[in-house]
Structure formats: C-alpha cells, structure tokens
C-alpha cells in the first residue's frame, strides 16, 4: 500500500513535464532536438566545402596564368623620306591624320624631271635610229664584201690575161720589126747597087726609081714597126700596172671581213647605246614618279616636319607613319615564368588606357634577354656579381578583329596574362 501511494504521485510528473515542454517549444524558448541541430550544421558544411572547392578551382585557374606589367604595344614605325632633290609644292596630310597605303602625302615640283624625261625620250629615239642604220648596214656590207672579192678576183684574172695578150702582141711586133729591118737592109743594099749601075748606065732609070721606092718603103716600114713595137711594149707595161691595181683591190677585198666585223661591232655598240638610253629614260621616269610621295603603309601620320616651299634632299625624313594593323605587344616576362610558355599560348591583354581586355596569343620568345640588347650589357665575370632575375622579351600578337576602330596606340602600357595550361 505504501509503495502504491509513492508511485502514483510520481507518474503524472512526466506528463506534466511533457506538456510544459510542448508549451515552451510553442513559445520558442526551449532548445531544438538533437536531430534538428544536425540538420542545421549540414548547410554550413556544404557551404564550407563549396568555398574550398571554389578556392581550389580559382587557385588552379590563376596558377595556370602568368602576367607582367612590364609590357607595351610595339610596331614598326615607317619613316617617309624623299628619294630625289626637289622643291615641296604641296603637303596633303598633317599629324594624327589616318592615311591608306598609296595615298599621296607630299608633292614636289615635277617641272625639271618632266624636262629630263623629254630629253631622255629624244636621246632614245636618236639612239634607235642610229642602231637601225647600223643594223641595215651589216647585211649590205656583207653582200658588198662578197661582191667586191669576186669582182677583184675577176679583174686580176682579166689583167693577167691582158698582160699575156700584150706580151704576145709585143713579141709579134718585135718579130715583124726584125723582119722589116732585115728587108730594109737588103733593100738599102740593092739601092746602093742600083745607084752604081745607073751611073754606069747598066740599068734603066726606071729600075733605079723602083729600087729607091722600095728602099724608102722598107725604111718607112721599119719606122712604123718600131712604133708598133714601142706601143706594144707600153701596152704590156699598162697591163702590168693594171694587174698591180686589181691585185691591190683584191687584197683590200680580202680585208673586207675585218671591215664587216667592224661594222657589226658598230651595230652592237649602237644597240648598247639604245639600252643605255632606255635606262636613262626609265630613271628619268622614276625620278618624275618620285616627285609624288605616297604612303608605304596604312596608318596614322606623326612627327611631320615637311612644309610647303621647303627644299628637300634624298634620304631626308619628311614624316612618319605609325601602322594601325601590324602591331603587337612586347612583354618582358621574368625568366622563371617561361618554364611552360610556348608560342601559341592564349593571352589576355589588359590595356590601361581603355580599361578593357583584348585577346591574343604568344607569337615568339626572344632568343636573348633584354639586357643583352642594351647599349652596355652587363659583365657577370666581375668579382662583385649579384644574381638578378632576368627578363626575356615575349612577342604577343592580337587576334584578328580585336581592334576594328584602331584605338590601340604604339607605346601604350598593357598588362598581358598568358595561359600556360
């Protein structure tokens, strides 16, 4: 009975506590159950895990990039200079003007060079006429030479035949003269005998007269034959002289091939003169063309020094053109950053002037550090050597279409970031 009385008052106590706990939970003052606490810690753990994963990804992302602030935009500056001496008559551009390739920049006075072209054209026409005449003379000289040789040979043969005929005629004249002289001796002897006989009246006067006539005729025949013999001798001499002349002509004809070679040489010299005149004309035309100075590339005009009325000399720089298309970035990376850098690695180029990024890629890595290109490269063999991390120039080019408005300027500071992996 006593135990029952002790148990009965204690049994409702837990019920009262449960009710009180329910009322307290509804009021929001009692602590949450154990299962609810664990459910609250789970989001925190997930958030921490996500933050760790994100940090890892960010670290991996930035660990694969290298960057430097020692970089600038570079390009080849194109100086525009005069190629001839001239007087400036017009300047068509000014600093900051954009020009296309081939656009006229400066004009020089072309009057003197146009006159030089006209003079060169006249000299070329004269040289061509001389060359044409010399070329025509070559075949004429060749044909004339052959004809003269043949004609001289025929003349020599004819002169030799003439000498032979004259000698035969002379010999015949001498034979007739000897015969006439023999007849004349006999006739004169007969005349003397008839003279003695006529004085003695042993022959008639008629016979004596006939003997006198024969003696006279015989003497006259001797005189005539002597004249003919002398004439025949002169003909032989003339024939010999003519033979000497035609032999000289034949010798001269034999030397005509050398004269033909001389004629051909003159023709070749005339052709060379034509080529020289053509070269002079071409140079004169080029000088006339050089009076108009055009832009070698498309770009922006800068550092203009030429003005109208100025006299310029060959090689004198008149202005410069800064290209807007063929530009790149020269980034001086530390040598420790080149371990995984290769041509073709993508790059992000941040331009400080515009606060924007441009895409590009590594084009090439210099074969030497920057200090090796300096005026006084360091000598590390000295005793006070201190190791310094060197910087290597890296050429980064912009991807096509990154600067359609040509906003980038040579010399602007940039911060390139190169992705290594």
CATH 3.40.50.11260 fits 113-281, yes or no: no
pLDDT top residue among 72 and 164: 72
Please check whether the two domains, 80-109+290-312 and 113-281, share a CATH topology. Answer: no
Nearest to 215 by CA among 187, 239, 242, 176: 187
Question: At 288, which helix (H) or strand (E)?
Answer: helix 256-290
Domain edges within the chain: 66-76+322-419, 80-109+290-312, 113-281
Tell me how far apart the alpha carbons of residues 321 and 106 are, in angstroms, rounded to a whole number.
13
Q: Is the pLDDT of residue 217 over 80?
A: no
288 contacts 114 by C-beta, under 8 angstroms: yes
5 — pLDDT class (breaks 50, 70, 90): very low
Q: Do strands 311-312 and 346-351 pair parallel, antiparallel, or not at all (unpaired)?
A: unpaired
pLDDT top residue among 100 and 381: 100
pLDDT tens-place string over residues 128-152: 888 887 776 555 555 555 566 666 6
415 — pLDDT class (breaks 50, 70, 90): very high
CATH 2.40.30.170 fits 66-76+322-419, yes or no: yes
Q: Is the pLDDT of residue 48 over 60?
A: yes
CA distances from 187 to 208, 224, 340 (A): 12, 16, 145
Tell me which CATH code domain 80-109+290-312 carries: 2.40.50.100
For the beta carbon of residue 235, count every other beta carbon within 10 angstroms.
18
CA angle 212, 214, 217 (to 5 degrees): 110
Q: Is the pLDDT of residue 1 over 80?
A: no
List Cβ neighbours of 187 (8 Å cut-off, separation of 6 or more): 211, 214, 215, 217, 218, 219
Mean per-residue pLDDT, 361-370: 89
Q: Do strands 104-108 and 292-294 pair parallel, antiparallel, or not at all (unpaired)?
A: antiparallel
Of the chain, the percentage scoring pLDDT greater than 90 comes to 38
Total count of residues recorded for the chain: 421
Tell me how far apart the alpha carbons of residues 103 and 94 are, in angstroms, rounded to a whole number.
13
Mean per-residue pLDDT, 399-414: 90
The C-alpha R_g of the chain, in whole angstroms, comes to 64
360 contacts 347 by C-beta, under 8 angstroms: yes
First to last CA, the chain: 88
The pLDDT, as a whole number, for residue 179 is: 78
Mean pLDDT lowest among 9-18, 330-339, 388-397: 9-18
The pLDDT, as a whole number, for residue 147 is: 61
């Amino acid at each position: 009975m006593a135990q029952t009385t002790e148990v009965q008052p204690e049994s409702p106590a837990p019920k009262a506590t449960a009710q009180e706990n329910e009322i307290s939970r509804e009021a929001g003052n009692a602590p949450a159950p154990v299962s609810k606490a664990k459910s609250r810690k789970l989001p925190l753990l997930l958030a921490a895990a996500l933050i760790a994963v994100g940090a890892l990804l960010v670290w991996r992302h930035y660990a694969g990039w290298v960057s430097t602030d020692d970089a600038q935009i570079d390009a080849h500056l194109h100086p525009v200079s005069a190629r001839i001496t001239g007087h400036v008559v017009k300047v068509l551009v000014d600093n900051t003007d954009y020009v296309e390739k081939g656009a006229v920049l400066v004009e020089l006075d072309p009057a003197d060079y146009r006159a030089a072209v006209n003079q060169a054209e006249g000299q070329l026409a004269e040289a061509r006429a001389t060359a044409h005449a010399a070329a025509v003379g070559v075949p004429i000289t060749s044909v004339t030479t052959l004809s003269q040789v043949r004609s001289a040979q025929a003349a020599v043969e004819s002169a030799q035949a003439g000498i032979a005929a004259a000698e035969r005629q002379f010999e015949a004249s001498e034979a007739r003269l000897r015969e006439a002289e023999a007849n004349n001796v006999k006739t004169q002897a007969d005349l003397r005998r008839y003279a003695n006989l006529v004085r003695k009246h042993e022959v008639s006067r008629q016979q004596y007269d006939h003997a006198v006539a024969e003696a006279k005729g015989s003497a006259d025949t001797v005189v005539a034959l002597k004249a003919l013999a002398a004439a025949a001798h002169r003909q032989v001499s003339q024939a010999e002289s003519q033979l000497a002349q035609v032999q000289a002509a034949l010798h001269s004809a034999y030397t005509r091939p050398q004269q033909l070679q001389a004629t051909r040489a003159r023709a070749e010299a005339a052709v060379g003169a034509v080529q020289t005149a053509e070269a002079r004309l071409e140079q004169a035309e080029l000088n006339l063309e050089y009076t108009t100075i055009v832009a070698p590339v498309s770009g922006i005009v800068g550092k203009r020094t030429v003005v109208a009325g100025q006299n310029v000399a060959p090689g004198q720089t008149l202005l410069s053109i800064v290209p807007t298309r063929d530009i790149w970035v020269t980034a001086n990376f530390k040598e420790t950053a080149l371990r995984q850098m290769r041509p073709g690695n993508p790059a992000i180029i941040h331009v400080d002037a515009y606060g924007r990024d441009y895409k590009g890629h590594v084009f090439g890595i210099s074969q030497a550090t920057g200090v090796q290109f300096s005026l006084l490269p360091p000598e590390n063999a000295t005793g006070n050597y201190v190791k310094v991390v060197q910087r290597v120039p890296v050429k980064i080019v912009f991807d096509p279409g990154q600067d359609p408005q040509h906003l980038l300027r040579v010399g602007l500071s940039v911060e390139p970031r190169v992705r290594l992996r």
